[in-house]
Structure 1
Amino acid sequence: MSIFSGAISGLEKGLDFAATKQKTIAQNIANVDTPNYKAKSVSFSEYLSDAKQSSISAHRTQEKHIDFHTKSSSSGVFDYNYNYNHNGNGVDMDKEQANLATNQIYYNALIDRISGKLNTLQTVIKGGR
């Protein structure tokens, strides 16, 4: 049995999502003046379904049963089809900055939760001192 019933691994997957989203937002901001660049985004539901599929294991008794070991090739990142600038660029700088701030708050909240879990573990190891 896991000490925190998988809480730390779940938080770790959340941090992976936040890091992927941060990279995607940074790429969008870096390409704000690139002609015909389409802004990208990270879908939480796609990212979550990929994480769930990789952690599920099951035994197939028939060929018609779903194979749980195959992972979809989707990374959860997709292109927007909007043009915000006259040169075909699809980056909305205000939206990207808002997404960046939101993602930073989400990341900091996850870090606080992991820190709390590890502090609890440290307290248990020290015998409550």
Structure 2
Amino acid sequence: MDIFGNSTNQLLENALKATTTRQKTIAHNIANVDTPNYSAKKTVFNHELNQAMDNERLQAHRTNEGHLSFGGIRSDEPQVVKRNNTMYNHNGNNVDIDHEMTALSKNQINHNALVDQLNGRFNKIQIALGQGR
């Protein structure tokens, strides 16, 4: 039995990596709020990428299970993509500082909740080992 590498801990670890990537992306956008022609970016996760790819995927008939399916790269890692659904300022920059600050706050709350969950799991292990009292 692996008490540290179980599926819940791996899920929490992946979620923490995702919030860290999102934090870096948001911070980069905020740092470039006044940079001319800068395009804001966002962090997109696997399920969102898959959904977008399914909408644009070429449907093909596979005659053998060994044939590769049509589609893009599937990854569990979050991807950073340009945000295209915003208006551009007079200098060609599309960073909305209010949106970025809100996203930063939400991401920080999510990150803190994940850290609390992971700490709680490790505290339970410590108590079970008789070291936490």
State the alpha-carbon separation in 2 of the partners of residues 30 and 90 from structure 1. Answer: 13
Q: Is the 8 A contact 1:37 1:89 kept in 2?
A: yes
Q: Percent identity?
A: 46
SS of aligned partner of 2:115: helix
Q: Look up the match of 2:100.
A: 96
Report the alpha carbon displacement of residue 87 of structure 1 after superposing the two structures with TM: 0.7
Question: What RMSD in Å do the two structures reach over aligned CA positions?
Answer: 2.9
Q: Is the 8 A contact 2:39 2:95 kept in 1?
A: yes
TM-score (norm. length: structure 1)? 0.75
TM-score (norm. length: structure 2)? 0.73
Q: Is the 8 A contact 1:17 1:47 kept in 2?
A: no
Runs of 4+ in 1 over 3 A off after TM superposition: 45-49
Q: Is the 8 A contact 2:46 2:78 kept in 1?
A: no
Matches within 5 A, 1:50-129: 63-64=66-67, 72=75, 75-81=78-84, 82-126=86-130, 129=133
> Structure 1: which amino acid aligns with 2:87?
N
Matches within 5 A, 1:30-69: 30-46=31-47, 63-64=66-67
1:50-72 C-alpha deviation (Å, 9 max, x unpaired): xxxxxxxxxxxx63266xxx755
1:41-86 C-alpha deviation (Å, 9 max, x unpaired): 011335897xxxxxxxxxxxx63266xxx755x8521101233411
Q: Structure 1 residues 91 and 128 mapped into 2: Cα distance closer, same or farther (>3 Å)?
A: closer
State the alpha-carbon separation in 2 of the partners of residues 48 and 80 from structure 1. Answer: 14
- How many aligned positions are there? 115
Q: Which structure 2 residue ranges, 5 or more long, are not aligned?
A: 51-64
Q: Is the 8 A contact 1:84 1:92 kept in 2?
A: no
